[in-house]
Amino acid sequence: MASCPIDPSIIRPIRFVAGKCQMLDQRLLPEQEIWLDYDSYEDVAEAIRTMVVRGAPAIGIAAAIGAWFAARDIDNESSREFFAEFQQRCAVLAASRPTAVNLSWALERMQRFAEANLDRSVMELKIGLEYEALAITQEDEQINRKIGRHGAPLIPDQARILTHCNAGALATGGYGTALGVVRAALAAGNKVSVIADETRPFLQGSRLTAWELQRDGIPVTLICDNMAGYLMQQGDIDCVIVGADRIAANGDVANKIGTYTVAVLAREHNIPFYVAAPRSTIDLRLTDGSQIPIEERDGREVTHIGDKALAPEGIAVRNPAFDLTPARLVTAIITESGVVSGDYVTGLRQLF
């Protein structure tokens, strides 16, 4: 059933209506629900970089809206000169974060639209780009509902599902990818529950997944990342479902740091490890995961929570924001076009 776009009960982190954009500042959850107004491509790029908005599909949507702001503000009557400036501004958005391929996927889609319509006036190009950004925004939730429908049959009744990071409504245009499978399993009548890794250092699990699921009345238990192995050992986890930021052509998965650790633990305990992602997160241009850029973020995310220091001043820090899970540890990849497992090279290519 198509969701009602104005149903306030459904979590959507980005609002794009009549050329206006608001984004839920996810840095302030769960304590504050603050919506920020955006009206320039530079500010949207900063929102992506600073993780006001985060999550691969949500980053793609924000980038598309940012690209429209970029086009709207170009003051040029020549379509070709307009397009050259538009490409330069899209490059600013593309540089905001490196790992989630949805960012470049959305920007390339916007630029392809413009390039295919250079015979139009600049005004017509601007109008068309707004509709393209709106389409990218509105398509995402329906894609996630399809992912949920394909994934739900994999989830047994009473399943206790471990999640890592947030691949829910807050990471997308609504409904979520990994959490979309959870929502669909519940809608199918399965009494599933979630065990959410807090996901240090940005705490997307404790701050976002726990908030999102509690708000929707979905059973959720929060654990520290270092507890997952113990719960698996105790038989308290029945399956794992995570999202993805980029999937290479061979099925290697880049996702939030700690995902690889969970995948290794799941394999050790013979627990299914599922990845839920839209086709826009699959990058067939990369033969394997070694080619996926891994973002290194500010060490302050590790040494501080807000202004509170968690480590001695000046301590050396590493802060890779993602890691790579080899395809051999992935039980199946759940997409809006179906479920792929085993021969990922063939299976992923057949999705397109």
Ligand X SMILES: CSC[C@H]1O[C@H](OP(=O)(O)O)[C@H](O)[C@@H]1O
Residues numbered 90 to 129 that lie near ligand X (CB under 6 A) are none
Report strand pairing: 246-248 vs 253-256. Answer: antiparallel
CB 185 within 8 A of CB 155: yes
Q: Is 256 annotated as a binding residue?
A: yes
Q: How many CB atoms lie within 10 A of CB 35?
A: 11
Q: Looking at 25, 238, 245, 252, which residue is catalytic?
A: 245
Among 256, 265, 274, 344, which residue sits at the site for ligand X (rule: CB under 6 A)? 256
Residues numbered 153 to 182 that lie near ligand X (CB under 6 A) are 165, 167, 171-172, 177
130 lines the binding site for ligand X (CB under 6 A): no
Q: Is 97 annotated as a binding residue?
A: yes
Q: How far is the CB of 100 from ligand X (least distance, A)?
A: 6
The nearer residue to ligand X, 21 or 240, going by C-beta atoms, is 240
CB 263 within 8 A of CB 240: yes
183 lines the binding site for ligand X (CB under 6 A): no
| Number of residues in contact with ligand X under rule CB under 6 A | 16
245 belongs to the catalytic site:
yes
Q: Is 142 annotated as a binding residue?
A: no
Q: Which of 114, 11, 17, 15 is nearest to 67 (CA)?
A: 114
* Binding span for ligand X by CB under 6 A among 50-58, 109-117, 132-140, 221-229: 50-58
CA distance 98 to 280: 15
CA angle (151 as vertex; 264, 290 as ends), nearest 5: 40
CB 251 within 8 A of CB 348: yes
* Binding span for ligand X by CB under 6 A among 51-59, 69-77, 109-117, 189-197: 51-59
Binding flags for ligand X, 199-218, as an x/- string (CB under 6 A): -----x--------------
Q: Which of 205, 182, 268 is nearest to 26 (CA)?
A: 205
The nearer residue to ligand X, 243 or 272, going by C-beta atoms, is 243
CA distance 86 to 152: 41
Among 104, 206, 255, 325, which residue sits at the site for ligand X (rule: CB under 6 A)? 255
325 lines the binding site for ligand X (CB under 6 A): no
Per-residue tokens: 242: 């995570």
Q: Is 56 annotated as a binding residue?
A: yes
Q: Is 267 annotated as a binding residue?
A: no
Per-residue tokens: 181: 């499978």
Active site amino acids? 245
Residues binding ligand X (CB under 6 A): 54-57, 165, 167, 171-172, 177, 204, 242-243, 245, 255-256, 321
